[in-house]
Amino acid sequence: MADQHSEALSDLGKYIRAQREVARLSLRHLARVTNVSDSYLSQVERGLYRPSAEVLKSIAAGLGISADDLFRRLGWLDQDGSDAASEPSVLAAIAADERLSPAQKSALAQTYQAMVGDS
């Protein structure tokens, strides 16, 4: 399990670095736009730290990519976009609710995931 965890962190870090390089952003510039220190961001890119969902969302926004891509790389979402650690019926209901905007769906799903944790 620990090997899978470190492999996922390494994969995430390499992906973030590659996306940053494709976007031609320096580490310091990305740190500025994400409000994450450049030293922490560097450690994330090297696979040394597992960032929170909020930090991943900020990094994704700074890179102009989907936060779901980063969540998948950490194993927080299955390839189909469903939450790998919680009841799929709850997230499916959130996703299917037409009364919610995409931002509201994302916020509600993240709140739910934070509440159920890694159970």
Q: In this structure, is residue 34 part of a structural domain?
A: yes
Is residue 71 in some structural domain?
Answer: no
Clarify whether residues 1 and 50 are in a common domain.
yes
The CATH number of the domain holding residue 62 is: 1.10.260.40
Predicted confidence (pLDDT) per residue in 49-78, tens digit: 889 999 999 999 999 888 888 888 888 776
Q: Return the pLDDT at 117.
A: 65
pLDDT in tens, 17-50: 999 998 899 999 999 999 999 999 999 999 998 8
Does the residue 59 lie in any domain?
Answer: yes
pTM of the predicted structure, to 2 decimals: 0.64
> How many C-alpha atoms does 65 have within 13 Å on its Cβ side?
18
pLDDT of residue 14: 93
Q: How confident is the model at residue 90 (pLDDT cuts 50, 70, 90)?
A: confident
Q: How many domains does the chain have?
A: 2
Residues 62 and 105 in one domain: no
- DSSP conformation class of 100: S
Q: How far apart are CA 96 and CA 20, in angstroms?
A: 33
If asked whether residues 4 and 27 sit together in one domain, one would say yes
Containing structural domain, residue 6: 1-66
